Amino acid sequence: MRNYSARYRQYAHGFGCLCHSPEITQLNERISQGLSRRSVLSGLAAIMAGAVVADPVSALAQQVPAAVVAQPVLLKNLRIFDGKSSKLIEGQNVLISGDRIADILKASEKVTDAKEVDCGGRVLMPGLIDAHWHSILAAIPQMVAMTSDIAYVHLVAVQEAQRTLMRGFTTVRDMGGPSFALKRAVDEKRIPGPRIYPSGAMVSQTSGHGDFRQRSDIPRHSANDLSLAESAGIATIADGEAEVLRRVREQLMLGASQIKIMVGGGVASAYDPLDSLQFTEAEIRAAVMAAKDWGTYVGAHVYTSAGIQRALACGVQSIEHGQLADEETVKQMADAGAWWSIQPFLADEDANVYASQVQSDQQKMIAEGTIRAFELGPKYNVKMAWGTDILFNPKGTASQGRQLTKLARWFDNADVLKMATGTNAELLAMSGNRNPYAGAIGVIEKGAMADMLLIDGNPLEDISLIADPDKNMKLIIKDGVIHKNTLAA
């Protein structure tokens, strides 16, 4: 096998967005040279069950089997944050039947055939939603990704899916990577994990933020000469309207609920500068048209004002990152009714460390832009969503809830919680006909999916409770299944 370690070193991306990193390229080479996608999946089918049984996370769900409980469950003696209101609702109980919230009842109403769970006056809230997550590669360490069998990489993703759920995240929007098989396994209840809204491979132009090739790989010799990243399903390269249409349609065929395209550069990328504009207007419009024809939308990776304005002009409905947007661009986002899916990329303990001064300077620009974004977004009533964009960082995944609490610097606690529940759910619902889940999420209301957390304390008063799920989340329920119950502890 060729040694790529020196050649790919420069690809570490700023903050959580590490998509141009040596690990992806190394990993993709192992995928293409060592194991076919079909053999990986068949191997995983035999070993995932054992991994789930052995994982200590699953032991927390001993009270209820990993299947929808046949008997209705009545959650009583609680206060409700419903994902929409800024105040707690009192004097009501929640009835769960199957995977849905069957009803919201007055506390005085009797239910004869339900198993009652006394919540001890605690706060019940919807499960959390991370609107920018990478299910397969969030938790795999750099060196492990470079040296392990691909089956192990997928098993780490299985384990992390469980941990994501046990942090209270019952839904994630996956913004790049081959998460279709993991999603299917979770949906079939073969393993515990959050519901996944998959984007599939990130669509990039040649030399764009999703082009992981090296100088020696240029030029491409034929239409069938796919790069390693393309073969693995992490990214796909398209030039011209026809190729963009093909690649977007391929992701839709695989089951993408929304499409991710690259419209600008990255913080530490070697071949696509941060200020570069990527895809012509005609190409972007082709992606938007293909997605719209299937009833869904396009989200664009982009930081700069020029890139954001081009994306908006072509019908992109979700700006991913966008920390370098100026005030005029923020106004345009508001006027277009587009979503601003933003991450708390700050100069704090969770930021990546770079040796290059250029990278450090760009990182500082993004951190300053993050502060400006959280100020300008509410000023112009932009529809703002929140996500973490954690990648290649097993220690960082544990900060998922803490990343949410950082927003309390700009928003009151109720608005922070609404953003990570009911508001994020509105963004995910933009997938329209491609929405893989039938019921409402992010809210506690009759008919919604039974995804709920019981918090020991009041997060509207103390948002930091979300940052310590092991201690403060007494119940974790998804699809009507109680995956964690420590009320008796």
CB atoms closer than 10 angstroms to residue 351: 17
Can you give the pLDDT at residue 32?
43
CA–CA dist 209, 75 (Å, integer): 47
Q: Mind listing the pLDDT tens digit of every residue in the chain (489 residues)?
A: 334 334 333 333 444 555 555 555 555 455 444 444 444 444 444 434 444 433 333 333 433 344 444 799 999 999 999 999 999 999 999 999 999 999 999 999 999 999 999 999 999 999 999 999 999 989 987 567 667 777 888 899 999 999 999 999 999 999 999 999 999 999 999 999 999 999 999 999 999 999 988 888 888 887 678 887 788 888 999 999 999 999 999 999 999 999 999 999 988 777 899 999 999 999 999 999 999 999 999 999 999 999 999 999 999 999 999 999 999 999 999 999 999 999 999 988 887 777 788 878 888 999 999 999 999 999 999 999 999 999 889 999 999 999 999 999 999 999 999 999 999 999 999 999 999 999 999 999 999 999 999 999 999 999 999 999 999 999 999 999 999 999 987
Two structure tokens written together for 432: 């329209």
Can you give the pLDDT at residue 59?
38
Could you tell me the pTM of the whole model?
0.88
Can you give the pLDDT at residue 355?
73
- In total, the chain counts a number of residues equal to 489
Backbone angles phi, psi at 97, to 5 degrees: -135, 120
CA–CA dist 301, 286 (Å, integer): 16
Can you give the pLDDT at residue 39?
42
SS (H, E, C) 171-219: EEEECCCCCHHHHHHHHCCCCCCCEEEECCCEEECCCCCCCCCCHHHCC
Distances (CA, A) of 227 to 262, 393, 406, 485: 17, 25, 38, 46
Can you give the pLDDT at residue 319?
98
Can you give the pLDDT at residue 154?
85
What is the bridge-based pairing of β-strands 100-106 and 383-386? unpaired
Can you give the pLDDT at residue 145?
62
For 103-124, letters b (16+ CB in 10 Å) and e give bbbeeeeebeebeebebeebbb
In single-letter form, the type of residue at position 354 comes to Y
Identify which of 452, 418, 479, 444 has the alpha carbon closest to the alpha carbon of residue 117.
Answer: 452
Can you give the pLDDT at residue 362?
86
Distances (CA, A) of 42 to 34, 38, 151, 181, 366: 14, 6, 10, 11, 42
Can you give the pLDDT at residue 45?
43
Q: ∠ CA 425-80-169 to the nearest 5 degrees?
A: 40
Is 246 in contact with 289 (CB distance < 8 Å)?
no
Q: Which residues pair with 75 in a beta bridge?
A: 94, 117
Strands (E) across 333-472 are located at: 339-342, 383-386, 452-455
SS (H, E, C) 253-316: HHCCCCEEEECECCCCCCCCCCCCECCCHHHHHHHHHHHHHCCCCEEEEEEEHHHHHHHHHCCC
CB atoms closer than 10 angstroms to residue 467: 18
Match 């939308």 to its residue by tokens: 297
Can you give the pLDDT at residue 453?
98
- Per-residue pLDDT of 130-168, as tens digits, reads 999 999 989 987 567 667 777 888 899 999 999 999 999
Is 476 in contact with 162 (CB distance < 8 Å)?
no
CA–CA dist 249, 87 (Å, integer): 43
CB atoms closer than 10 angstroms to residue 405: 21
Is 236 in contact with 53 (CB distance < 8 Å)?
no
Match 């570490």 to its residue by tokens: 12
Q: Which of the four CATH numbers 2.30.30.30, 3.20.20.140, 3.40.228.10, 3.40.50.300 does domain 128-410 have?
A: 3.20.20.140
Identify which of 90, 83, 120 has the alpha carbon closest to the alpha carbon of residue 107.
Answer: 90
Distances (CA, A) of 10 to 6, 39, 210, 214: 8, 31, 15, 11
- In three-state secondary structure terms, 459 is coil
**What residues does CATH 2.30.40.10 cover in the chain?**
68-126+439-488
Return the CATH fold of 68-126+439-488.
Answer: Urease, subunit C; domain 1 (2.30.40)
Can you give the pLDDT at residue 13?
42
Can you give the pLDDT at residue 140?
85
**What residues does CATH 3.20.20.140 cover in the chain?**
128-410
CA–CA dist 306, 329 (Å, integer): 8
What is the bridge-based pairing of β-strands 473-478 and 452-455? antiparallel
